[in-house]
Amino acid sequence: MPYVKTRDGTDLYVKDWGSGRPVVLTHGWPLNADSWDPQAMALAEAGFRAIAYDRRGFGRSGQPWSGYDYDTLADDLADVMAATGADGDATIVGFSMGGGEVARYMSRHGGKGVIAAGLISSVVPYMLQTDDNPDGVPDSTFGQMRDGIKKDRAAFFRDTFTPGFYGVGYISHPVSDDILDWSTSLALQAGLKPTLACLDAFAYTDFRPDLAAFKVPTLIVHGTGDKTVPIDASGRAAAKGIAGSQLVEYDGAPHGLNVTESDRLTQDLLTFLGR
């Protein structure tokens, strides 16, 4: 089943590996399901069923003009779960922007069929800096991102992955140039409209009201060196708002810890799933 058709007729590309208890993985912006491959492979080899899909507008999925709000994206997650039969005893795990789908699914769909959740370098609960969210990201930063994408999307993403996303600097170089090239190629598979619309979605959606809907064990993993999604406004705030959640901080790790700390993240996920 390489494709699932959503309730509004959008085709979503789905990777379904292994068998056993399902773990549904939602990817970050501006990547696609391939960014979950190391963890998905390890999950399948450990006896789980790993399901990862390309968000609408990204990767190999359809690129409709609309539907990039989190209500629709959460419905897409629900449709993938239903079509693959992963709507019972499932764990849903979101990286970065994908954490928003997890949070909105828990509130909008009542956490149907979910027995555990994971938020990895997630944008939840609120990215935007406001008077009541002083640790968030200034609105001007999102404006600069928008302008950079419109001016030269390829250059913007190559630059984005270099210093902030993977923590690459003059001294630190935790990933290869090949990883930077690969990440950029994934980002450029998305359409311009979905790229910009999803930027607005994760920048301006307030998930704080969704936190109370988490009624299952929840693993939160975040790097203390994350300059893309600052930990105080995200991982630590989510941990305070989700009762009984487990926060694991990776000291000094950047946003893209699914790559820079791949083995550690995989082991933490497997430990959590086998709790």
Nearest-5° angle of CA 252, CA 254, CA 259?
115
- Examine the residue annotation and report whether 96 is marked as an active-site residue of this protein: yes
- Examine the residue annotation and report whether 255 is marked as an active-site residue of this protein: yes
First to last CA, the chain: 30
Q: Give the separation between CA 197 and CA 57, rounded to whole angstroms.
A: 10
* Catalytic entry in 35, 96, 107, 121: 96
Q: Give the separation between CA 14 and CA 61, rounded to whole angstroms.
A: 9
Q: Give the separation between CA 39 and CA 45, rounded to whole angstroms.
A: 10
Q: Give the separation between CA 15 and CA 25, rounded to whole angstroms.
A: 10
**Are 153 and 188 spatial neighbours (Cβ–Cβ below 8 Å)?**
yes
List Cα–Cα distances, 235 to 63, 230, 238, 245, 256, in angstroms.
30, 8, 5, 11, 14
* Catalytic entry in 226, 234, 245, 268: 226
* Catalytic entry in 27, 121, 222, 255: 255
130 contact partners, CB below 8 Å, separation of at least 6: 136
Only one residue has tokens 């019972």, namely 88
- What is the amino acid identity at position 78? A
Q: Which of 28, 59, 25 is closest to 42 using CA atoms?
A: 25
The residues assigned a catalytic role are 96, 226, 255
